[in-house]
Structure 1
């Protein structure tokens, strides 16, 4: 831990991580589901507060040439890396600010442009109270009326079960003789495994604990360090966060996890009856949080919320097929089990999506008498990864070239021949965001040797020299299947 980091991990870089739920085009889906009037515009200022190494905000800048994009982070090493990458990718609409929000003066904040969108992924429950106060002060001063905020965080009561695990990891890390935060958290894992094997009564057997004690390498060590080594690891209830944000005059819209906006998909009938009796907002959210087994929330707020006709707004949303699965539409796992469209409806929907992007309203009216609500249709299609929203149906060649340059530089920097950990995205001007991909997909989609190859034998011959020397036949087969399955999707979204 460094002396200037205010108790947060600064001696090891954060993992590169693209989260599709935090971008404006996805926020617009959540707003529409909740009957709120907000959607992206061609000219906006978007800030990623706590941007880390800057991947998400860079992908947005690459996908939206008309946006003014800003990344703020307190870590100068991460800001320096992000600035160098933005210059290399030719992103002239992207800037970065090294910002200690606890120490920024009002005049420093007022030197920033007014914001249409602010994004905070995982920041709130990792930082000290002075930093939280700085976040609220920044939103109070710089978020425009009508502006929206995405804020994701470790939530109670779900993540509270890992409080003992977090303390145990910090204990184990403190016993390490030397090393940075990543090395020290790895040093703590044997202690966790040893104690867990004794079945301690008060160490909850959570999803995270199960991941840490499983055989094989630990899950993403940089993430573990940033998640658990901070001195200010504090999950919060939704009501407490909403109260803290009140000085910025923010109204709670709903969840960016789309399924959580449809009560019948996550509440049993008796739970739904209790939920219905509660006032809207935090009372209903508490009932939700007590009934869903999940540790993380993704909330959207707006400064000056305006209501619209929900279903009319949803019917206008355009989606495109984001999978090469052509046999059937996958179901959507929910806390109540698997949600599926009726087979005859699913078949018609899939057939239409194969033809190209479709409006939700057109999809649900394919056959009279079998109409599905737009909320259910959008949630089941997007939540299962079947579709992604399309914001633009036409883009010029310059916008496409700009996005592809970002994708090529991102692959060169981060993909590691397709073996790197992390969550990535291929910038798409049609989406106004990035198409979520693995490091292998990012690598393969940007290799010029594979562009335009349709013959499988030729594709495999070109593919083999691109993979690491130690790649075996199984790895080559996996890469070939990835290329075959995903190439039509990449073409559909204009990333190749």
Structure 2
């Protein structure tokens, strides 16, 4: 492995996996729930550390032309792809930097502009101590007072059982070089060998093991290489991360998994009694990690917290439906419990949201005395994928349109397999400070609509998949009709089309 990678896997990529949680809109909701006074502004500087192929950074820049968005990563091929997409989308507010966070000198760090938001998704648990120290140093020197940071990382104790699995996969992979595809080939080799011997081993039956053993395969070798073949994969306790971030004077705010602010949703009575006795935040977060069987945390930190009226902040949030709302009250599965809104109350909420965007305070007021608290309503609606927050008015913006067309051309080109293309994408929205979750088919449909095609399944199918005939053409028309019925209202609410 090359030294410039600091033990991380290099020259191996996998499908785009855009995460709506790693955006300022989710950070804003977490801050509101915690009673912290932070709101995105029309002009900000945002940095994505470990930006990978740059999809998230480009999407944020397209959705927010007043922001400057920096993407830093050690992998040159990812930086090259990010710059190419930015050029195709005509973005002039992005800057992508090939950077070694483990070796950046103070002059190099200080050449970066002061930062309002730093996003660090899927980095901390996979890198060396030198890279972690570089991240903290960058935060300490460049994150503004009042600035926020998002960190998504593997957490203990839930990730602990996979530590032996990671060591086994590295053993099964054998030595591999840094050439294109070598890490992915090594991961594929390890996956085959693991399937052959898993029945004879006493490995903990974790969700990750189940995904690795699934037939047909559900994990790309490139993903497995990045996830497990790094020399430094080390999940951490949340308190240890907080201790490391003390050097940057960061305070813990909360999780972008909003339900985690409500331990009563996943702790039983005895656990709640213990939590009350824990007293401090660190002890309570540790107890949450004992109760929740999730190995990935996504936390928000702030450099200088300013307290505000949390209820007022929540009541002021505007929400809009992301897709077709179900008739039955959606169920939030936390992994330890199931939470839902009573059916009569859900019927009232769904009726309001089907009429258009609504303020959370108005939703809460309409429900009357039986209403759950605003945090519970927001957590269930967001965590079940029913709504996202709206932050801006106005019509579709040119930058978002150009990005959505360029993203479709790059990642969802016209072709016979369009409906089955891999990846999790986002559509840039000028109303959401980020994006709407989208499949490759969604990208292609939106791009066609933006280029003037009618919102009509037959015409769209012929435009996007012109070589299909007979039954396959009818199936394509059906898929497109279903997506339009589910997604078109949300695309319009959020200014995508």
| 2:197 aligned residue | 195
Change (3 A) 1:172 1:42: same
Alignment partners' CA distance in 2, 1:430 and 1:147: 22
Worse overlay, 264-273 or 408-417: 408-417
Change (3 A) 1:456 1:127: closer
| 2:64 aligned residue | 64
Alignment partners' CA distance in 2, 1:112 and 1:5: 22
| 1:38 aligned residue | 38
Tell whether the 8 Å contact from 1:110 to 1:142 is kept in structure 2 after alignment: yes
Tell whether the 8 Å contact from 1:450 to 1:459 is kept in structure 2 after alignment: no
| 1:395 aligned residue | 394
Following superposition, the deviation at residue 2 of structure 1 comes to 2.9
| 1:384 aligned residue | 384
Alignment partners' CA distance in 2, 1:181 and 1:468: 40
Following superposition, the deviation at residue 337 of structure 1 comes to 3.1
Worse overlay, 174-183 or 39-48: 174-183
Secondary structure at the residue paired with 2:4?
coil
Q: 2:182 aligns with which of 167, 172, 180?
A: 180
| 1:453 aligned residue | 454
Alignment partners' CA distance in 1, 2:86 and 2:123: 22
Secondary structure at the residue paired with 1:138?
helix
Cα deviation code 1:329-377 (max 9, x no counterpart): 4222223433221222111111111111111000011143333311011
Alignment partners' CA distance in 2, 1:89 and 1:460: 25
Change (3 A) 1:458 1:107: closer
Change (3 A) 1:321 1:82: same
Secondary structure at the residue paired with 1:4?
helix
Gaps of 5+ in 1: none
Worse overlay, 71-80 or 412-421: 412-421
Change (3 A) 1:160 1:255: same
Following superposition, the deviation at residue 85 of structure 1 comes to 1.4
C-alpha RMSD of the superposition: 2.2
Following superposition, the deviation at residue 44 of structure 1 comes to 0.7
Change (3 A) 1:413 1:446: same
Alignment partners' CA distance in 1, 2:149 and 2:450: 41
Gaps of 5+ in 2: none
Secondary structure at the residue paired with 2:388?
strand
Following superposition, the deviation at residue 325 of structure 1 comes to 2.8
Following superposition, the deviation at residue 306 of structure 1 comes to 1.7
Cα deviation code 1:374-431 (max 9, x no counterpart): 1011011111111000011x2255xx22101101101111124434322110000000
Following superposition, the deviation at residue 471 of structure 1 comes to 5.2
Following superposition, the deviation at residue 327 of structure 1 comes to 2.8
Change (3 A) 1:360 1:468: farther
Tell whether the 8 Å contact from 1:450 to 1:462 is kept in structure 2 after alignment: no
Tell whether the 8 Å contact from 1:320 to 1:388 is kept in structure 2 after alignment: yes
| 1:8 aligned residue | 8
Tell whether the 8 Å contact from 1:329 to 1:386 is kept in structure 2 after alignment: no
| 1:108 aligned residue | 108
Alignment partners' CA distance in 1, 2:235 and 2:358: 40
Alignment partners' CA distance in 2, 1:37 and 1:493: 24
Alignment partners' CA distance in 2, 1:157 and 1:470: 50
Worse overlay, 336-345 or 403-412: 336-345
1:295-314 equivalence runs, <5 A: 295-314=295-314
Following superposition, the deviation at residue 236 of structure 1 comes to 0.6
Q: Provide the TM-score with structure 1 as the length reference.
A: 0.94
Q: Provide the TM-score with structure 2 as the length reference.
A: 0.94
Following superposition, the deviation at residue 450 of structure 1 comes to 8.6
Alignment partners' CA distance in 2, 1:136 and 1:467: 53
Q: Does 1:414 align with 2:416?
A: no
Worse overlay, 49-58 or 471-480: 471-480
Q: Does 1:482 align with 2:483?
A: yes
Following superposition, the deviation at residue 22 of structure 1 comes to 1.1
Alignment partners' CA distance in 1, 2:458 and 2:474: 15
Secondary structure at the residue paired with 2:412?
helix
Q: Would you say how many aligned residue pairs link Structure 1 and Structure 2? A: 491
Change (3 A) 1:310 1:246: same
Cα deviation code 1:207-256 (max 9, x no counterpart): 01111111113413221111011111111110111111110000001111
Change (3 A) 1:449 1:102: closer
| 1:279 aligned residue | 279
Q: Does 1:427 align with 2:428?
A: yes
| 1:354 aligned residue | 354
| 1:134 aligned residue | 134
Change (3 A) 1:204 1:344: same
| 1:337 aligned residue | 337
Tell whether the 8 Å contact from 1:265 to 1:335 is kept in structure 2 after alignment: no
Cα deviation code 1:419-464 (max 9, x no counterpart): 4322110000000110011122112221249956355555555555
